[in-house]
Amino acid sequence: MTRPILYSFRRCPYAMRARLAIASANIECELREIVLRDKAPEFVAASPKATVPVLIDGDTVLEESLDIMLWALHQNDLESWLQMPQEGHDLIATMTEQGGPFKSALDHYKYASRYADIDASAERDRASIHLSSIESQLVDQKWLFGENPSLADMAILTFIRQFAHVDLDWFNRQPWPNVQRWLEDFKSSDRFRNVMQKYPKWQNGDPVTLFPQ
């Protein structure tokens, strides 16, 4: 049996969300855990841009996490994650696209030392505007579009987690009880714990690691 191959890195929010969708769709993959400072040559050969996640399914190579999520869910949307309005797709773009308003502010806040003349607090405030908007959206519902999670929730929450954990004490003091509850429900879920299992660095010749387990 030839399984899709998923190159992943446990802590990357893009790789996390790809694993979440694959687990939701219950599509068995061969997981290859990558160490970003010492990338396997097979990984670089498969995807010259050499950023995780990358999924290989026969002759198909997917190099973007959202494409991997949609690939999985279009095969087997067991939890109806795709049942959401166009607003959900727009929100995913706003919150997670590289160079977009939230992701740009998040990167500047988390990695302020990498940028010249960046005020981390100002960048945190820029990102917070988007969380205040989500706070309002969650007032009367458990998830972004109702009582069940959607693609938007699972595509965005890994980045909210990253933002929160830059300074978790500060995050927990903010007037965002709904966002805080939303994030905590996600982090405490069996699904999240399962996709966050630790795996050793993959190298050619290692026994196959199946995902999800």
Note the pLDDT tens digit of each residue in 121-137. Answer: 999 999 999 999 999 99
Asked if the 86-189 domain carries CATH number 1.20.1050.10, the reply is yes
Exposure of 36 by Cβ count < 10 A (0-12 exposed, 13-18 middle, 19+ buried)?
Answer: exposed
In whole numbers, what is the pLDDT of the chain averaged over residues? 97
- Cβ(192)–Cβ(30) under 8 Å? no
How many Cα atoms sit within 13 Å of 200 on the Cβ side? 7
Q: Which residues pair with 57 in a beta bridge?
A: 60
Q: Report the C-alpha dihedral over residues 55, 92, 197, 149, rounded to 10 degrees.
A: -120
**Confidence band for 1, pLDDT divided at 50, 70 and 90:** low
Confidence (pLDDT) at 103: 97
pLDDT surpassing 90 at residue 62: yes
Residue type at position 154? M
| Collapsed DSSP state (helix, strand, coil) of residue 186 | helix
**Interatomic CA distance for residues 164 and 162, integer angstroms:** 6
SS3 at position 167: coil
Q: How confident is the model at residue 58 (pLDDT cuts 50, 70, 90)?
A: very high
Fold of 5-79+193-211: Glutaredoxin (3.40.30)
Span 79-88, average pLDDT: 98
- According to the model, what pLDDT value does residue 116 have? 86
Task: Report domain extents, the chain.
Answer: 5-79+193-211, 86-189
- Position 67, amino acid: D
Can the peptide bond before residue 53 be classed as cis, meaning omega within 30 degrees of 0?
Answer: yes
